[in-house]
Amino acid sequence: MKLLMRKHLQVYSGRSNVGLAREIASRLAVPLGEANLVDFASGEIGCRFESSVRGADVFIVQTHSRPVNDSIMEQLLMVDAAKRASARRITAVCPLYGYSRQDRKATGRDPISAKLVADLFAAAGVDRIVAVDLHTGQIQGFFDGPVDHLTAMPVFVEYLRGEVDGECAVVAPDAGRVRTAQRYAEHLDAHVAFVHKRRIPGKVNVVQAKTLVGEVAGRTCVLVDDMIDTGGTLCAAAELLRDRGASSILAVATHGILSDPALARLEASPLRKVVVTDTVAVAEAQRTPKLEILPIAPIIARAIRAIFEDASVSEIFLGENVA
């Protein structure tokens, strides 16, 4: 008797960013599966897949956005349900990976929360993780299985080519983004600069932009970052660039978390435009004339297709998705 194995792709979504998951499924030409997620009176979450996942290649999409802990737990429950229903392979697609900024011990007695999240997914039964623009590359090493690290850079570079005129400088808002800024600068034929920032001891979400390294006077400056949370880092950097004579200032960041008081800070800042992707669902009330949202679904869908077909994900980005 000969058994022919047929691969079967299924996509499911948590509730944090259903619109993105629908667009990903549409681009893959598959229906978005129904996970029947419910909240019980006790605050617990329930999940039951509508159709069989036995032998399927299951991709579970969930952005770890507010409420972050609920989003992570919801995805873990979906992974467990798929594992117990005999899915052949389970991939957790995390457009925004939770706790990614807690990737090291900054002071004594700190947790390394990003590692804990990876351990939880491994324990739940995830075979592979897909994430977009992790805060630091070392997070890939926290998970013992394969991690496909995607980047929104192609989306932003295409946008910026239509927005930037004349001499341009790509600016890293802190030393950790210099390598990313160099990659953008190569595509845009631009100069590179970076800001040295300092956080105020004992204060949360308060940043001082201390020093600028690089020439920005008379140039269009593009600040590049992985996320905008409260906006303190970007706005402090933008003010420094204005003071140093930048002719125009834009910012691009993959994840628009936009926690209070981000919108007020961005509106009052010298930034002409703030561009994010839809890895995080942005409410209509948060959409201001300064804010532009670009779709990330085409990149995630291409990566999922490559994983399903056992093809190279790095080739999609020409090797530039290494953090």
Domain with CATH 3.40.50.2020 in the chain: 9-151+298-317, 153-294
Look at residue 322 in the predicted model and tell me its pLDDT.
Answer: 65
| pLDDT tens digits in sequence order for the chain, 323 residues long | 455 557 899 999 999 999 999 999 999 999 999 999 999 999 999 999 999 999 999 999 999 999 999 999 999 999 999 999 999 999 999 999 999 999 999 889 999 999 999 999 999 999 999 999 999 999 999 999 999 999 999 999 999 999 998 899 999 998 889 999 999 999 999 999 999 866 555 555 555 556 899 999 999 999 999 999 999 989 999 999 999 999 999 999 999 999 999 999 999 999 999 999 999 999 998 899 999 999 999 999 999 999 999 999 999 987 777 65
In CATH, the number for domain 153-294 is 3.40.50.2020
Q: What is the full DSSP assignment across 185-213?
A: HHHHT-EEEEEEEEEPTT-TT-EEEEEEE
Look at residue 29 in the predicted model and tell me its pLDDT.
Answer: 97
Look at residue 200 in the predicted model and tell me its pLDDT.
Answer: 57
Residue partners of 35: CB distance under 8 A and separation at least 6? 12, 13, 14, 47, 48, 49, 50, 78, 81
Catalytic residues, by residue number, are 197
- Count how many Cα atoms sit within 13 Å of the Cα of residue 79 in the half-sphere of its side chain: 24
Q: Give the pTM.
A: 0.93
- Return the bridge partners of 164, or none: none
Question: Would you identify the CATH topology of the domain 9-151+298-317?
Answer: Rossmann fold (3.40.50)
Look at residue 49 in the predicted model and tell me its pLDDT.
Answer: 97
Look at residue 181 in the predicted model and tell me its pLDDT.
Answer: 96
Contact 97, 134 (CB under 8 A): yes
In whole angstroms, what is the distance from residue 174 CA to residue 141 CA? 23
